[in-house]
Structure 1
Amino acid sequence: MSLSGKKITVIGAGIGGLTAAIALRKRGAWVTVLEQAEAITEVGAGIQVSPNGFAVLRALGLGDRFRQIAVQGQAVELRDYRADSLVARLDLGLLPEDQPYFFVHRADLVDILADAARAEGVKIRLLQKVNTVEATETPVVHLANGADMKADIVIGADGLHSRLRPVLNGVTAPFFTRQTAWRAIIPNVIGHPNVSRVHMAPKRHMVTYPLRGGELINIVAVQERTGWAEEGWQHKDDPANLRRAFGDFGGDAKRMLAAVEDVGLWGLFRHPVAPVWHRGHTAILGDAAHPTLPFMAQGAVMAMEDAWVLTDALEHADTVEAGLAAYQARREDRVKKIVETANGNAWKYHLSFPPMRFGAHMGLRVVSKLAPKKLMQQFDWIYRHDVTKG
């Protein structure tokens, strides 16, 4: 089925939506992106783009430009929270040369994607709040301003609060994990190397890595607690609360926490993977279909993979319905495994029973020194998966 000339509406100008818009436009579709904000902006934050995500950017012709604004990661370090001593090191240099790993400011990646989309001829319409979508063979997007938009295909890439997901699946209540996360960006006050550091503590951990040529540091700090917190990074908190929760952290971690002046707080919730991703000529992707906890750093990357596979599946199907069904079939098992792995990952950093914590850290030290390739190989199923070649 040729996509040439098809009118496709994408809801949401985030990473997944813009990636889909570029991929679809490159195959001849006429693409309009609807964004409810008054400008394409992202809350200041860092993300990690592993090799499987970079493969999509490279296939879209954005690899070189992305390299200019991202920091290439050298390693992931697991460290003890109090002494700030190294427990284990995962050497990203063991990845093949053509499969690099990056740290990037989310806003910088969105800027690249938005510029590329406009250069391809994608129309990006701001201040377009969607009320609902008619998920039929002739889909209609109903906007809050009273306007209706018809399209041949509608893609919901509008995240956790998607307007299309409940049309396809009904409303489901998320499950509070009893974990909250703080997020902040600070100046690079410690000369942070080009590595991701995971500072592990009983019932807490903190992840840090550099951004923008090493000028900034991204901080995500997670704590287990019974107190409920709302979902969404737009909720601000007092930096003193963050420092109090992680007050026993030492070394560089302590110095980084002292530099925090502005911080967001997010309650971490588990959302089920949507059982239905498509109906008629509509489909959802990224967080709209399969929200994931941040413990595998794969949320944005999965959205990029979705965007590529969706486009490829449509192009190689006889009908729109068959293409959308093939898209879900090709993606569902992989994203479920990612979500399940992320759900079960936090406890590994939060061990609190001293003998168990000591034994686990000792085991990591031994494997890190004697079999470093083994540590990296456990992630081959994620990092070496290239949707652009399948």
Structure 2
Amino acid sequence: MAVQSPDIAILGGGIGGLATAAFLHRAGLSSTVYEQAPELKELGAGIMVAPNAARLIRRLGVIDVFLRQAVRLDVGWEFRRWQDGSVLSAENLTTECSRLYGEQTYTAHRADLLDVIKAAVPEGTIKLGRRGVKLDDGDRPALLFEDGERIEPDVLIGADGVHSVVRQSLADATPARYSGMCAFRALVPADQAPPFARRPAQTLWIGPARHLVHYPVLGGRFVNLVACAPAGDYSVESWTATATVEEFRAEFEGWDPRLRDLIRAAGTPGRWALLDRPPLRRWSRGTVTLLGDAAHPMFPFFGQGAAQAIEDAAVLAACLAEDGTDPARALRRYEALRMPRTNRLQEVSHGRSHINHLPDGPEQEARDKSFADSDPLVANGWIYGYDPDVAMSA
């Protein structure tokens, strides 16, 4: 029996928006993606692609495209002490990821991941240069664009990020809170990086009030850096904002000289404030819903932001496919299936900042000692072992 396809509009052509279009197409449903930029591109730099996300990329039939540029990690959760780089613990990902979760862990450039997902979206689905500015209430969702055009789809999905127009109109959100932290990101050419940073490994340097993560991307041609530090009076929350190498390097004054040399080789770093947003009480109203960062922005400490958007897309598409005659009911089911998981990830991501940033002392020493007995791959099985198909059948 053919699936009845409602008129579905997706606002936002990032990873979450395109993944939604791709999974809807896979389920036999058509959609239109409206993206404000004049061309499809993803800002930022590297991204971790854990087994839960890799599983869904494979399900979309584009894993071979993904593997052309992705780096498969041999080592993950390699914690190093800030002063001297001594290794506190490390995970063997080469065999354990496949054994536990049937998939590997990869790194990629965000732009490459966007292109991979786009390959699973039918031609003609994406409309560029379309900036949504207002959502009107009514019997049907009505979205007004900057150029004056108005659309009234059967279903509207807000995948338009942390500054979502749909979220502002839909959700009873409390204002974002200042977290006191900011993030830096940068790319270092591999030929200018020390050998320890070129390995297929995800390494986390942890120290008082700060941490820094690095791993290779773009087929190993670059090393991606992501760091968290006190924000001071910095409050700009934008992926286009930048800092200087000197500002980035100054945050890690007194740390292992090898790490500071790695930062010195970075290009123009990005810098953005980490604002704290508590979980929403609801994502949907009628036939309008939210997805990805628009629904559940989270601190980057578990590297799950994009993965959760892709999971959202898979579940949302499945709910609409199974209940195409009643989209509002399908969106309520989607929210009920996804919200507990993303709420939990928001909470644990928030708590990780305290663990990573302990000052030297008894609590830090106990934490470091506990690393030898911990197994993050197993402990985080609830994250990496998640399968939307299983969640749908529960």
Pairwise TM-score range, normalised by the shorter structure: over 0.9
**What's the counterpart of residue 155 of structure 2?**
153
- Report the aligned-residue RMSD: 1.7
- CA displacement, residues 10-40 of structure 1 (integer Å, 9 cap, x when unaligned): 1000000000001112233231110001111
Matches within 5 A, 1:356-375: 356-365=363-372, 367=373, 374-375=375-376
Count residues in correspondence: 382
**What's the counterpart of residue 42 of structure 1?**
42
Q: Is the 8 A contact 1:183 1:220 kept in 2?
A: yes
Deviation at 1:114, TM superposition (A): 2.0
- CA displacement, residues 78-99 of structure 1 (integer Å, 9 cap, x when unaligned): 0011211111112223122522
Structure 2 residues not aligned, in runs of 5+ = none
Matches within 5 A, 1:217-296: 217-296=223-302
**What's the counterpart of residue 342 of structure 2?**
335
Q: Is the 8 A contact 1:178 1:224 kept in 2?
A: yes
Say which is worse superposed, 163-172 or 82-91, in terms of deviation. 163-172
Alignment partners' CA distance in 1, 2:72 and 2:257: 24
Matches within 5 A, 1:176-191: 176-188=178-190, 189-191=193-195
Matches within 5 A, 1:300-315: 300-315=306-321
**What's the counterpart of residue 193 of structure 1?**
199
Alignment partners' CA distance in 1, 2:376 and 2:342: 22
- Look up the SS of the partner of 1:160 in the other structure: coil
- CA displacement, residues 124-149 of structure 1 (integer Å, 9 cap, x when unaligned): 11110101123554222210100111
Say which is worse superposed, 237-246 or 299-308, in terms of deviation. 237-246
Aligned to 1:99, which of 89, 99, 103?
A: 103
- CA displacement, residues 323-366 of structure 1 (integer Å, 9 cap, x when unaligned): 0000000001000000000000012111104222223212323x
Aligned to 1:116, which of 112, 116, 120?
A: 120
Alignment partners' CA distance in 2, 1:30 and 1:355: 57
Q: What's the TM-score, normalizing by structure 1?
A: 0.93
**What's the counterpart of residue 128 of structure 1?**
130
Q: Is the 8 A contact 1:136 1:281 kept in 2?
A: no
Aligned CA distance change for structure 1 residues 89 and 251 (closer, same or farther; 3 Å): farther
Deviation at 1:176, TM superposition (A): 1.2
- CA displacement, residues 157-199 of structure 1 (integer Å, 9 cap, x when unaligned): 0010111112211453111111111111111222311111101
Q: Is the 8 A contact 1:136 1:282 kept in 2?
A: no
Q: What's the TM-score, normalizing by structure 2?
A: 0.92
- CA displacement, residues 240-271 of structure 1 (integer Å, 9 cap, x when unaligned): 01111112221531221110221111111111
**What's the counterpart of residue 60 of structure 2?**
60
Alignment partners' CA distance in 1, 2:251 and 2:18: 37
**What's the counterpart of residue 88 of structure 2?**
87
- CA displacement, residues 293-312 of structure 1 (integer Å, 9 cap, x when unaligned): 00110000000000000011
**What's the counterpart of residue 140 of structure 1?**
142
Aligned partner letter, 1:383: Y
Q: Percent identity?
A: 31
Alignment partners' CA distance in 2, 1:212 and 1:283: 34
Structure 1 residues not aligned, in runs of 5+ = 369-373
